[in-house]
Amino acid sequence: MFQVGDRVVYPMHGAGVIEAIEEREVLGERHRYYILRLPVGDMRLMIPTASAPQSGLRPVIPADQVPAVLEALCEPVPPLDSNWNHRYREHADKLRSGDILEVAVVVRNLSARQKARGLSGGERRLLDQARQILVSELALAGGMGRDEADALVERHLGAAEPAGGA
C-alpha cells in the first residue's frame, strides 16, 4: 500500500506523486482511491487502491538506477520489423509493461526510426507518450526538473549508435 507523498509510476501515463487517499462513491459503491498528480500535463488520476497492483502502479525507480536507464538509450538499435503495424504493437506492449527499461527501448527505437525514415502518425504519438513517461520518471527519480530530464534523454539519444535496419 502506498502513502500520501509517495512517488509512483502509472503505466501509460507516467510518474507522479500521491496527493491523497480518499474514499469516494462511484456507481453506488464506496471505494478507496489514490489521487495521483502527474506533473506532465498537470493531470490528476484516481486509481482504486484495491486494483493498484493489477494496474501496474509501482514506485519510481531509485536514483541509482537512472544511469542504467540512460545507458539503454545509447545501446545499438536492433533491426526493426518493416511493418509499421507490427512495430507499433510490439512497442505498445513494451509501454504497457510499465518497465522503465522497456519504455527506454521504445524511445530509443522509435527515435532512431524517426531520424532514419520517419514514423507513421500512430508511432509518432506512441513515441511522444513513451518519452513523456520516461522523462517524468527520470525527473522524479533523479530529483531534477522536466526540462533537465528531457535534455538528458536527448543527449543520450544523440550518443546512440545508428539504427541497424530501423
Percent of the chain residues past pLDDT 90, beyond the cut: 77
* DSSP result, 4-20: TT-EEEETTTEEEEEEE
pLDDT at 163 over 80: no
pLDDT at 165: 47
Which pLDDT band, with edges at 50, 70 and 90, does 162 fall under? low
- On whether both 52 and 72 belong to a single domain, the answer is no
- On whether both 37 and 108 belong to a single domain, the answer is no
pLDDT 10s digits, 81-118:
888 889 999 999 999 999 999 999 999 999 999 998 88
CA–CA dist 161, 47 (Å, integer): 39
Last residue of a domain, one of 17, 35, 58: 58
For residue 123, the enclosing domain spans 63-158
For all residues of the chain together, what is the average pLDDT? 91
Q: Is residue 166 part of a domain?
A: no
- On whether both 21 and 84 belong to a single domain, the answer is no
